[in-house]
A and B are shown apart, each in its own frame.
Chain A
């Protein structure tokens, strides 16, 4: 049975292998509760009922990409206020700034380290909670 205090992560990633290792990293290493979504569309179906504390969102996905998914999640009352962290290989400063201007709280670079991913997510959320006025 999962810890009721465990961080709840809506994890949106289309690539099966990356999603599997990411879920392992967050659950087994980080002790988090993870709802994996293979697409933006599935995130919109699964997200509202999951009550996530944070959303990890891949940028480059077929069909509904990360940006479109982000905007759609922002439109739904159940997910509108959930902090979103983009995950992408596109981490040039101007790209990161664009994601932050859009409303994401941070960007995690891919490829990620499975052992430290959960620590990175926690550190981001701690910064968010400590300084919400700067968002």
Chain B
């Protein structure tokens, strides 16, 4: 790999690692919003996690977050709620995907 490409790759790795460190907190925020039945907020958190994970090549996390996002997207603005079994399953799959993410390189 030429030096410039190597520098860019290293920079992207650093940005990825910075995001990976944030994932547990993002997941906690998302699940807390689901527990509180703050569906609009939960949808937004799922959308953010899905988009960011995908951008950093964390495909499985991105796919599972997108699946959760789509479930929450369909919740009516007033008085609605996602199927709790489906919601629980999709959150579990997302949590499992997060556990399989390669941790950041040690400093």
Assess the A114–B12 pair: CB atoms within 8 A: yes
Q: Is A18 an interface residue when CB atoms closer than 8 A count as contact?
A: yes
Looking at A20-28, A35-43, A68-76, the stretch in contact with chain B turns out to be A20-28
Assess the A60–B55 pair: CB atoms within 8 A: no
Query: A91 CA to B33 CA in the complex, in Å?
Result: 27
Assess the A111–B55 pair: CB atoms within 8 A: yes
Assess the B12–A21 pair: CB atoms within 8 A: yes
Assess the B11–A28 pair: CB atoms within 8 A: yes
**Total A-B residue pairs with C-beta atoms closer than 8 Å?**
46
Query: A111 CA to B51 CA in the complex, in Å?
Result: 6
One digit per residue, 1 when the CB lies within 8 angstroms of any chain B CB and 0 when it does not, for chain A 1-45 equals 000000000000001011011101000110000000000000000
One digit per residue, 1 when the CB lies within 8 angstroms of any chain A CB and 0 when it does not, for chain B 21-41 equals 010000000000000000000
Q: Closest B residue to A111 by CB, please name it.
A: B54
Chain A residues in 8 Å Cβ range of B95 = none
Chain B residues in 8 Å Cβ range of A114 = 12, 55
Q: Closest B residue to A14 by CB, please name it.
A: B48
Query: Known interface pairs A60-B47, A110-B54, A111-B55. Does A17 touch B22 (Cβ–Cβ under 8 Å)?
Result: yes
Which residue from A15, A24, A112, A115 sits with its C-beta under 8 Å from B48?
A: A15
Query: A115 CA to B11 CA in the complex, in Å?
Result: 12
Assess the B47–A112 pair: CB atoms within 8 A: no
Assess the B11–A24 pair: CB atoms within 8 A: yes
Which residue from A20, A111, A115 sits with its C-beta under 8 Å from B15?
A: A20
Assess the A112–B11 pair: CB atoms within 8 A: no
Chain A residues in 8 Å Cβ range of B18 = 17
Query: Known interface pairs A62-B44, A89-B66. Does A18 touch B52 (Cβ–Cβ under 8 Å)?
Result: yes
Q: Which residues of A contact B (CB under 8 A)?
A: 15, 17-18, 20-22, 24, 28-29, 60, 62, 89, 110-112, 114-115
Q: Would you give 8 A-B contacts (Cβ < 8 Å), ordered by A?
A: A15-B51, A17-B18, A21-B56, A28-B11, A89-B50, A89-B51, A110-B54, A111-B51
